A and B are shown apart, each in its own frame.
Chain A
Amino acid sequence: MSAESLARWQFAITTVYHFFFVPITIGLSGLVAGLQTAWVRTGSERYLRLTRFFGKLFLINFAMGVVTGIVQEFQFGMNWSEYSRFVGDIFGAPLALEGLLAFFLESTFLGLWIFGWDRLPRRVHLACIWIVSVGTLLSAFFILAANSWMQHPVGFTLNEARGRAELTDFVAVLTNPVVLVTFPHQIFACYMVGGAFMAAIAGWHLHRLRSATPASEPTAAFRTALKVGAVTLLVSGLGVLVTGDLQGKVMTTVQPMKMAAAEALYETEQPAAFSIITIGSLDGSREVWSIKVPYLLSFLGTGDPQSEIKGINALQQSYEKTYGPGSYSPNIPLSYWTFRIMMGLGFAAMAAGAFLLWKIRRGRLPSGRLWLPLVLVLPFLPLLANSFGWIFTETGRQPWLVFGLLSTAAGVSPGTTVAEVLTSMITFTALYGVLAVVEVRLLITYIRQGLPEVAAVETEPADDVPLSFAY
């Protein structure tokens, strides 16, 4: 394999892996902050125990998100130095701002939250977790602004002499139409994950406790958690739908090839039908069987059911005119299927959440054979939907690293050897594999333990009382 394809594999592996932790961190930080707020406002011990319980799971997950995130920042320079030279003037700014304005905030206030239970006044301590949660949103915004610029470069000029893109309008980068729809879409998707995670764990405990008297305290607490989680899942699922629709329209305008690839639409159609599922030959020349909804793709793409949607072949021709000979379409089956798997898993998650919520209506306890399998798969549905969504959006941009400006092949570090990239790819893959096992086992241990006992939180301890949440 060439250094380029190894670098691409390494980026894919490390990014998809990092992104298992990001949605949980973003979604769960807000939910834990909400639970703690409920405790501060009501004084009910139930919310405190839930805060501690989900807070611990949040921390186990957060640690992995942080350490795998460091790799992401260094990787641009290590494997993609030509890319870094080309875009540094633009891409570096949001990255630096993420660190300065968001990442400092998250990690400093998380430290205060972990160790500050008995060192800080109750409301100040509560503010810490909210600040962490807001920090994760800021982080997401800057990273998505940087990524959106790669999808749809704005606010720049090309400096031919230096062979790089140079920033001319930073506001345009931050208000890129792509980031304005991607940010809410991504945040809602993260809250789907957080909600599903909480609902599933609560649902599993309710299943275990179903023979206990309905009035038992853990049962009541987990009922609350399940409701909070499932409602979050459903509400943010609606948000994902609405913003996903808007995103489709932006994508049709700025990256028509990606939209055509998502639909495996080879020939331009007017009006265009949306394919729910199509079985065809891999090169798209022959359609074997399909289910299609007439007019829907035109409507999704532009808002007008009669409009024309450009096909892959027409786009290829026009790109060849602009950029010269070459293939300008991404891997079509990959785009087509990841797009559908993303949507399918998202809908399945919402359906599962609604079902769980309906099953426990009016004080009912879990029953039926579907309950346990559903709570076991539930967290993975939106989580994998997130992964497939990103695989779609990143591979759908190919062969471009920066759409229309820099091809992926041109972005790789010229000086790094196959041996170096191979070493780092194997190292990260092996290390990430081991850490995954450790992390999952630790999560399971803590999920099994259930709600912790809590002593009343003292805010003015003696001098050398141990730090409460200490390592």
Chain B
Amino acid sequence: MELTTVWFIVIAFLWIGYFVLEGFDFGVGMLVGLLGRDDRERRVLINTIGPVWDGNEVWVLVAGGATFAAFPEWYATLFSGFYLPLLLILVALIIRGVAFEYRGKRPEARWKARWDACIIIGSAVPALLWGVAFGNILRGVPINADGEYVGGFVNLLNPFALLAGVATCTLFLTHGAVFVALKTDGEIRHRANRFAARIGLAAAAVTVALAVWLNLTEGTPVSWLVSALAAMSLVGALVANRLGREGWAFIGSAATIALLFVAAFVSLFPDVMPSSLDPAWNLTTTNAASTPYTLRIMTWAAAVGTPVVLVYQAWTYWTFRKRISVAAIPVEPAVPAETAGR
């Protein structure tokens, strides 16, 4: 297999890993506003992802770095072209990351409420905008002969891309709710279970519409097949959720996200960023790629490094496999702002 194809697969793998892993912690982040009724419940929600969200986030950094190294032209066009959405994503990731670390570091209710808002917004914005970004990549954007994006900002807000954004957002919410049901106990577990059932239906409707649209315009037999598998695993996840088989429901929602992005990357290949102006100006795995020498070095590094990363990240999930519940969260008296502090 061509090294450029190998690296297309590696980068697809990194993005899929990112969306499967951070997908549920984006979902949990949004659910802090939807399922957490008081401080202790919100802490339960946040603690379900506490030990892992940071490691999950590194997947996007590695995906970005690997794109830079393997397909510099893709990296340059994508990141300079999608300037404002990426700026919003960066701001969201900044306030979200700081919020996780800082919210518990002072007792005041107002302090916590503000950081909770940062967690919710910081999770919702990337959940929506990553979908918009990928929707645009799949549909093709105005790229000129120099490989430069010339479409401006408003052009990115087209119906297909917005639908893709709603799809990732609802899928991540479903994935997050299923994860909360899997990782918690007591009232919050049941609430997450019920919420997953409802949001899952919405996600299914949007995702099926998106997949049909994508496959009608860009589809190949393989992408049709993979999309169908994605739809089936979402149905499976919802059935498992109804039956209270939370582990299976989580595997199902993870598989849905993974398969949906597999379908996306399959329909994209061999392009990495098609031009809507002229197919001759498409960025492809060959014309956007680094030299074979660089790709060979990167292949060795990835072959050695990736399994190790997978092992220790898996070990993290194993270490923190126990369910947590409100009963385990110590009661911390709410401190009104004026009496708090030093």
Task: Check if B80 sits within 8 Å of A470, measured CB to CB.
Answer: no
Most chain B beta-carbon neighbours within 10 Å: one of A114, A120, A413, A423? A413
B interface residues, tally (CB under 8 Å): 80
Task: Check if A115 sits within 8 Å of B50, measured CB to CB.
Answer: yes
Main secondary structure of the interface of B (DSSP, over half): helix
For the complex, is A81 an interface residue (Cβ under 8 Å from B)?
Answer: yes
Contacts of A98 in B (CB 8 A): 65
Contacts of A87 in B (CB 8 A): 72
Contacts of A372 in B (CB 8 A): none
| Distance between Cα atoms of A98 and B301 in the complex (Å) | 11
| Distance between Cα atoms of A190 and B306 in the complex (Å) | 29
Contacts of A167 in B (CB 8 A): 290-291, 293-294, 297
Interface residue from A62, A67, A115, A116 paired with B93 (Cβ < 8 Å): A67
For the complex, is B148 an interface residue (Cβ under 8 Å from A)?
Answer: yes
Task: Check if B319 sits within 8 Å of A85, measured CB to CB.
Answer: no
If the complex has contacts A93-B297, A96-B68, are A103 and B84 also in contact, measured as CB distance less than 8 A? no
> Which residues of chain B from 305 to 325 have a CB within 8 Å of any chain A CB?
305-306, 309, 312-313, 316, 319-320, 322-325
Most chain B beta-carbon neighbours within 10 Å: one of A70, A77, A435, A438? A77
Contacts of B100 in A (CB 8 A): 63, 471
| Distance between Cα atoms of A172 and B325 in the complex (Å) | 54
Task: Check if A59 sits within 8 Å of B101, measured CB to CB.
Answer: yes
| Distance between Cα atoms of A222 and B236 in the complex (Å) | 58
Task: Check if A77 sits within 8 Å of B98, measured CB to CB.
Answer: no
Contacts of B77 in A (CB 8 A): 81
Contacts of A105 in B (CB 8 A): 312
If the complex has contacts A93-B298, A170-B297, A464-B327, are A66 and B54 also in contact, measured as CB distance less than 8 A? yes
> Which residues of chain A from 83 to 106 have a CB within 8 Å of any chain B CB?
84-85, 87-93, 95-101, 103-105
Q: Which of B56-64, B127-135, B161-169 contacts A (4 or more CB under 8 A)?
A: B56-64
B322 to chain A, nearest CB (A): 6
For the complex, is B37 an interface residue (Cβ under 8 Å from A)?
Answer: no
For the complex, is B229 an interface residue (Cβ under 8 Å from A)?
Answer: no
For the complex, is B159 an interface residue (Cβ under 8 Å from A)?
Answer: no
For the complex, is B70 an interface residue (Cβ under 8 Å from A)?
Answer: yes
A182 to chain B, nearest CB (A): 20
Q: Chain A 413-451 against B: per-residue CB contact (8 Å), 1 yes, 0 no? A: 111100010011001000100010010001001101000
Considering the complex, give the chain B residue whose CB is closest to the CB of A470.
B47
Task: Check if A100 sits within 8 Å of B301, measured CB to CB.
Answer: yes
If the complex has contacts A93-B298, A99-B61, A464-B185, are A63 and B51 also in contact, measured as CB distance less than 8 A? no
Task: Check if B76 sits within 8 Å of A465, measured CB to CB.
Answer: no
| Distance between Cα atoms of A81 and B65 in the complex (Å) | 14
For the complex, is A107 an interface residue (Cβ under 8 Å from B)?
Answer: yes
For the complex, is A11 an interface residue (Cβ under 8 Å from B)?
Answer: no
Most chain A beta-carbon neighbours within 10 Å: one of B69, B100, B290? B69
Contacts of B76 in A (CB 8 A): 77, 81-82, 84-85, 88, 413
Contacts of A78 in B (CB 8 A): 79-80, 83, 86-87
Task: Check if B91 sits within 8 Å of A471, measured CB to CB.
Answer: no
Task: Check if B102 sits within 8 Å of A470, measured CB to CB.
Answer: no
For the complex, is B78 an interface residue (Cβ under 8 Å from A)?
Answer: yes
Task: Check if B290 sits within 8 Å of A89, measured CB to CB.
Answer: yes
Interface residue from B87, B91, B302 paired with A100 (Cβ < 8 Å): B302
Task: Check if A438 sits within 8 Å of B51, measured CB to CB.
Answer: no
Task: Check if B94 sits within 8 Å of A99, measured CB to CB.
Answer: no
If the complex has contacts A107-B54, A471-B103, are A464 and B328 also in contact, measured as CB distance less than 8 A? yes
Contacts of B34 in A (CB 8 A): none
Contacts of A73 in B (CB 8 A): 61, 64-65, 68
Interface residue from A64, A424, A446 paired with B98 (Cβ < 8 Å): A64
A161 to chain B, nearest CB (A): 12
For the complex, is A269 an interface residue (Cβ under 8 Å from B)?
Answer: no
Task: Check if B50 sits within 8 Å of A114, measured CB to CB.
Answer: yes
For the complex, is A406 an interface residue (Cβ under 8 Å from B)?
Answer: no
Interface residue from A84, A92, A103 paired with B58 (Cβ < 8 Å): A103
If the complex has contacts A99-B61, A104-B309, A466-B330, are A77 and B80 also in contact, measured as CB distance less than 8 A? yes
Contacts of B329 in A (CB 8 A): 466, 470
Task: Check if B294 sits within 8 Å of A93, measured CB to CB.
Answer: yes
Task: Check if B62 sits within 8 Å of A99, measured CB to CB.
Answer: yes
If the complex has contacts A111-B54, A442-B105, A471-B43, are A84 and B68 also in contact, measured as CB distance less than 8 A? yes
Task: Check if B87 sits within 8 Å of A91, measured CB to CB.
Answer: no
| Distance between Cα atoms of A471 and B53 in the complex (Å) | 13
Give 8 CB contacts A-B under 8 Å: A63-B101, A77-B78, A88-B71, A89-B294, A92-B65, A167-B291, A413-B80, A435-B98
Apart from A70-B93, A89-B290: 16 A-B pairs, beta carbons within 8 A = A67-B94, A77-B64, A77-B79, A85-B72, A85-B73, A89-B72, A96-B301, A99-B66, A100-B66, A107-B58, A111-B52, A414-B146, A464-B323, A467-B51, A471-B43, A471-B100
Closest 8 CB pairs of A and B: A88-B72, A77-B79, A92-B69, A63-B101, A92-B68, A99-B62, A96-B65, A81-B80
